[in-house]
Amino acid sequence: MRRALELAARGLGTTSPNPVVGCVVLDAHGEQAGEGWHRRAGGPHAEIHALREAGDRARGGTALVTLEPCNHTGRTGPCAQALLDAGISRVVYAVADPDPQAEGGAATLRGAGVETVQGLLAAEAEQVNAAWLTSVRRGRPHVTWKYAATLDGRTAAADGTSRWITSAESRADVHRLRAEADAVLVGAGTARADDPHLAARLPAPAPDAPAPVQPLRIVLDSDATAVRPGARVLDEAAPTLVAVAEDADAGHLEGHPRAELLRLPRTDGGLDLTALLAALHARSVRSVLLEGGARLAGAFVAAGAVDRVVGYLAPALLGAGPQVLSGGGISTIADALRLDITDARRIGPDLRITAAPATPLTKEH
């Protein structure tokens, strides 16, 4: 199953709006006969790749899959039936499929006499497939807030300079995060101050791997004053969405050949983030990488819409300057957003900490 999880992770950035899935097939003697992963939306599922590699050795064997085999016909056929046709006698899967359109694969397999086991390395499988699972369970994209700061929590110096707080290795790792996300989002302040490009820069993929899909670039620009002609997000490197208030004067963006306009209701703090996430989910955005400043991060925290935090901490001190988070609706220590650290590692000279809320911020449907 650990090998299946490794395989599943290879699909990050290329399978959305589908889940990432890995599969390993063992023959009747317990020897590995085939493996595969879901490589791109609309393409064969992980089980199909693994069964093709296993061939006749799959008969009487075991399939280990990170997600319950699907039970419906979409752009591809049901994997549960493919496993039956191949003569698999036992299926072990990590996480049950919560999608009502695809669930029921395990029941189909059991009904045909196949032994099924659920839950092996379930926590790890939930983590690798967090974006898709969040989208199905909560009806909104999974949001990762990424930031870079000094050890004393400063994102820039007192004079506003911020390039570069973290190392080249950390910045390269951020491009990996971008490539794995469906969308990268910043606010008007970041757009004005940095004129960010927001596209992912990555080395060429391996010959047998699909090229990553560039994420949708999103700028929250309430008054339509931050994204002006010539902005770097208006080039042809990736699609761009500019979210503005319903009453904003955005004539300079209407009909722009390289930017789509999204009008949203205003709230006291800016744009309605619930409406934003609903609109993104409706267009099949399953994961968002939040790269905005302290105020925007605080707004997402206050809205209960941060599912993961990735912080890059540089071994440096500034003593003054902007802090990582502003607001968030937290006024007392009892209301602190407590996180569980899921990973901590060195990236060049920096420390990258990955954490998730100890309790979900929003209720599931």
- Report the catalytic residues: 47
What is the C-alpha to C-alpha distance for residues 262 and 154, in angstroms, rounded to an integer? 32
Residue 291 is assigned to a ligand binding site: yes
For the chain, how long is the longest CA-to-CA vector?
Answer: 69
Residue 122 is assigned to a ligand binding site: no
- Residues comprising the chain, all counted: 365
**Contact 168/349 with Cβ under 8 angstroms?**
no
Residue 148 is assigned to a ligand binding site: yes
Residue 222 is assigned to a ligand binding site: yes
Residue 49 is assigned to a ligand binding site: no
Residue 294 is assigned to a ligand binding site: yes
Residue 295 is assigned to a ligand binding site: yes
**Could you tell me which residues come within 8 angstroms of residue 113 by beta carbon, excluding any fewer than 6 positions away?**
none
Residue 37 is assigned to a ligand binding site: no
Question: How would you classify residue 13: left for phi > 0, otherwise alpha for psi between -120 and 50, otherwise beta?
Answer: left
Residue 296 is assigned to a ligand binding site: yes
Residue 321 is assigned to a ligand binding site: no
Closest to 13 (Cα-Cα) out of 130, 184, 181: 181
Residue 109 is assigned to a ligand binding site: no
Residue 23 is assigned to a ligand binding site: no
Detail the residues annotated as belonging to a binding site for Zn(2+): 45, 70, 79
Detail the residues annotated as belonging to a binding site for NADP(+): 148, 164, 190, 194, 222, 293-299
Detail the residues annotated as belonging to a binding site: 45, 70, 79, 148, 162, 164, 178, 190, 194, 198, 201, 222, 291, 293-299
Detail the residues annotated as belonging to a binding site for substrate: 162, 178, 198, 201, 291
